[in-house]
Structure 1
Amino acid sequence: MKGLLAAAILLAGTGIAPAQEELVVSIWGGNWRDGAQEAIATEFTKRTGVEVKFVTGGTMDRLTKAKLSAGAPQADVTLTTSHVAYLYSASDLFEKLDVSKIPNLKEAYPIALRSPYAIGLYSYVYAPAYRTDLMPDDFKITSWKDLWGDQVKDKLGLPDFDPSHIIIAAAKLSGADAKDWKKGIPLLEKLKPNIKALYQSDATSQELMKTGETPVQVLLSINAYHQMSQGIPIKLVIPEEGGVVGIDAVGISAGTKMADAAYQFVNTALDPKVQEKLCELYKCSPMNAKAHVSDEMAKLPGIFTSDEQLEKQILVDDETRAKLLPEWKSWFTENMTR
């Protein structure tokens, strides 16, 4: 103990700060981790001196691990989808937020406060997308119903880890909403001949689009723009009914020993300049109303710069989506796989 104290005094005397503990942040891998590192973590460490360690995994896998380590969280902060954030809080895995410690929240759109436990950082859409070089010249999408067309037969890729997007779209086409999703079942069953493959992760989705195995997909807009940047000719379309909006949110783990740093990380993530950088990297819509979106990016499908633009899309509240997700996944697995 005396040796440690002497070392600390020596460091203080030289003006070198003792090593800080790491802040552990749970997030997806690949470009998600890389973007958060470049835009959020770098600025956070610059401000606090605390290094960030990212632990990565799929959305539901990370939730399962968090449940297994409840009370002694392996991560201090978690980035996940806003409806899955509801599942974290429902399992007492997130602490109730003290918004006075997140001053940048005052500048955010009202939709950013997802619950007393989670804050949205940015939005995106799931919408139809296709390879322009692999589909006929006269192929186009203006509505979700075009995915049922003959030209899409045996070409469509859909996510099965979260089939909510196509289920919600089918319900809307059938004159219903997410809560009355079963009204869309007859339409969903008619879609089966068009489904080529189901993907279990963002990486699988990107590979299926890259190889052309599924040249038409219900695709996350951020992934679409990521692949476009790699030179893959993809057209993302916001249908006349709207895209299905997704919001990625952040929560602080209940029981974390790094609460002060965690709050600073969340506040940094909502800083307008950090938001600008993050959304430029991801091609997503910021939650801080003071974050500037370039004129060029504002023209991209799925980029929103006002509440009014968002409200024209398909929005489902987090609680409804979270509670119905297990039922949707079960039905989809039993009825839509070939």
Structure 2
Amino acid sequence: MRCHLTAAILAAVLASAGSAAAAETLVVSTWGGSFRDLIDETIAAKFKAETGAEVEYVTGGTIDRLNKAKLSKGSPESDVTFTTAHVGWLYANDGLFETLDLARVPNARNLVEPARVSPYHLGTWGYVYTIGYRPDLAPKGMTFSSWADLWDPRLKNSLAAPDFDPSHIIAVSAILAGGDPAHWEKGQQKLEALKPNFKAFYTNDANSQQLIATGETPVQVVLTMNAYYMKAQDVPITVVIPKEGGVLGVDTVAINTGSKKADLAYKFIDIALDAGVQAKIAAMKKGSPTVTNAKIDPEIAKLPGVFTTPEQWSKEAILIDPRLRAQMTAAWRKWFTENIMAK
């Protein structure tokens, strides 16, 4: 009788332990809205199926989440963080990201070079900021083969660009003036000459969508993934990649310093770089896969700004070094606010 009772108790304990393991939770910090849904429906779905663990989210703006992470340094509220490549360097510089052991991320061997952002964070999808416009509202016959076309006087009071990150147009202006992002001052006079063509500066994706959908700004420096969302909503926007290239952006993933879920975090990151998951991300968001072995729908692969080969990543994009971008973000935004936005 005692043996049967002991066996029953042991079975109950083991079942309880198994249930607790299955209920283990990984906390992920990310943007809200469609990006949170993207992660949940692609990476997290496969992660939960393979590990039995749950995924919870802490959401917020890019800089808001960075500031919260600084306040909770050493005791992070999340285990894994998604952020942009350059802001990821701000986390790393403050000791908020673990150094990654790539031996624990087998799929990292397939990463394109621009997605190997640092020893602390890896690229999960790419995109470009480029020119998007309404052919029905732009000047008749207007085309955009070069970034220099934005300076056309016919575009007076027609253009919008993001107010939260002016690095794209600052880099472009520097290049058109014969400089580069590291010597951005060379493009200041060029960028000041663009002021008459600006109509608005959008604060987020929703604001960008509103401005171009209503026609208030028929031309934008636009995020490709946002532009393709608008096209799906029947906004007649055309996306072009100028001959100089689109300005590359890479969103990244990292493990927070102090996380007690390292094993789960590594599994999550490896799944994020899985070829099948990357293909689903491209299908949902029209972003560039960051691994070379992802098989992308040909209709998506041919979209401007969707890169599917290492050659496209290197030849069709303007790359601003993420570390430089992190160092200069505050100074660039201050200069842009004072000299361009304040007409």
TM range (shorter): over 0.9
Say whether residues 1:60 and 2:63 are aligned partners: yes
State how 1:317-336 maps to structure 2 within 5 Å: 317-336=321-340
- 1:98-154 per-position Cα deviation (integer Å, ceiling 9, x unaligned): 111101111222332211101111211000101223223312111111111122211
Task: Report the Cα offset of residue 229 of structure 1.
Answer: 1.1
2:281 pairs, out of 274, 278, 283, with 278
Counterpart CA distance in 2 for 1:221 and 1:68 is: 33
- The corresponding residue for 1:246 is 249
- The corresponding residue for 1:3 is none
State how 1:152-191 maps to structure 2 within 5 Å: 152-191=155-194
Q: Which moved more, 1:165-174 or 1:61-70?
A: 61-70
Say whether residues 1:265 and 2:265 are aligned partners: no
- Larger gyration radius, structure 1 or structure 2: 2
- 1:19-55 per-position Cα deviation (integer Å, ceiling 9, x unaligned): 5232111111222111111111111111111111122
- The corresponding residue for 1:304 is 307
5+ long unaligned stretches in structure 2:
1-7
Contact preservation (8 Å) 1:143, 1:239 = yes
State how 1:26-65 maps to structure 2 within 5 Å: 26-65=29-68
Letter of the 2:66 counterpart: L
Q: Which moved more, 1:211-220 or 1:8-17?
A: 8-17
Letter of the 1:215 counterpart: P
- The corresponding residue for 1:20 is 23
- The corresponding residue for 2:106 is 103
- The corresponding residue for 1:290 is 293
- The corresponding residue for 2:5 is none
Q: Which moved more, 1:143-152 or 1:80-89?
A: 143-152
Task: Report the Cα offset of residue 194 of structure 1.
Answer: 1.0
- The corresponding residue for 1:78 is 81
Letter of the 1:264 counterpart: K
Say whether residues 1:140 and 2:140 are aligned partners: no
- Aligned in 2, Cα 1:22/1:172: closer, same or farther, shift over 3 Å? same
5+ long unaligned stretches in structure 1:
1-5
Contact preservation (8 Å) 1:58, 1:201 = no
* Secondary structure, counterpart of 1:111 in structure 2: helix
Counterpart CA distance in 2 for 1:311 and 1:24 is: 34
* Secondary structure, counterpart of 1:248 in structure 2: strand
Counterpart CA distance in 2 for 1:143 and 1:270 is: 33
Q: What do you get for the CA RMSD once the two structures are aligned? A: 1.8
- The corresponding residue for 1:223 is 226
Counterpart CA distance in 1 for 2:226 and 2:162 is: 13
Contact preservation (8 Å) 2:84, 2:251 = yes
Q: Which moved more, 1:211-220 or 1:259-268?
A: 211-220
Task: Report the Cα offset of residue 203 of structure 1.
Answer: 2.3
Counterpart CA distance in 1 for 2:9 and 2:50 is: 25
Task: Report the Cα offset of residue 75 of structure 1.
Answer: 1.5
- The corresponding residue for 2:3 is none
Task: Report the Cα offset of residue 187 of structure 1.
Answer: 0.9
- Aligned in 2, Cα 1:7/1:212: closer, same or farther, shift over 3 Å? farther
Counterpart CA distance in 1 for 2:252 and 2:9 is: 40
Counterpart CA distance in 1 for 2:9 and 2:35 is: 39
Counterpart CA distance in 1 for 2:18 and 2:84 is: 39
Counterpart CA distance in 2 for 1:82 and 1:59 is: 11
Contact preservation (8 Å) 2:292, 2:310 = no
Q: Which moved more, 1:90-99 or 1:55-64?
A: 55-64
Counterpart CA distance in 2 for 1:167 and 1:24 is: 36
Q: Which moved more, 1:324-333 or 1:127-136?
A: 127-136
* Secondary structure, counterpart of 1:249 in structure 2: strand
Q: Which moved more, 1:149-158 or 1:246-255?
A: 149-158
- Aligned in 2, Cα 1:70/1:8: closer, same or farther, shift over 3 Å? farther
Contact preservation (8 Å) 1:11, 1:17 = no
Say whether residues 1:10 and 2:17 are aligned partners: no
TM-score normalised per structure 1: 0.94
* Secondary structure, counterpart of 1:297 in structure 2: helix
1:316 pairs, out of 320, 335, 343, with 320
- 1:51-107 per-position Cα deviation (integer Å, ceiling 9, x unaligned): 111222111111111111111111111111111111110010100011111011112
- 1:267-322 per-position Cα deviation (integer Å, ceiling 9, x unaligned): 00000001110111110111111101222112110011222111112112111111
* Secondary structure, counterpart of 2:117 in structure 1: strand
Say whether residues 1:112 and 2:115 are aligned partners: yes
Q: Which moved more, 1:206-215 or 1:253-262?
A: 206-215
Letter of the 1:317 counterpart: D
Letter of the 1:17 counterpart: S
Q: How many residues align?
A: 333
- 1:174-194 per-position Cα deviation (integer Å, ceiling 9, x unaligned): 010001101101111111111
Counterpart CA distance in 1 for 2:337 and 2:19 is: 54
Counterpart CA distance in 1 for 2:9 and 2:301 is: 53
- Aligned in 2, Cα 1:284/1:158: closer, same or farther, shift over 3 Å? same
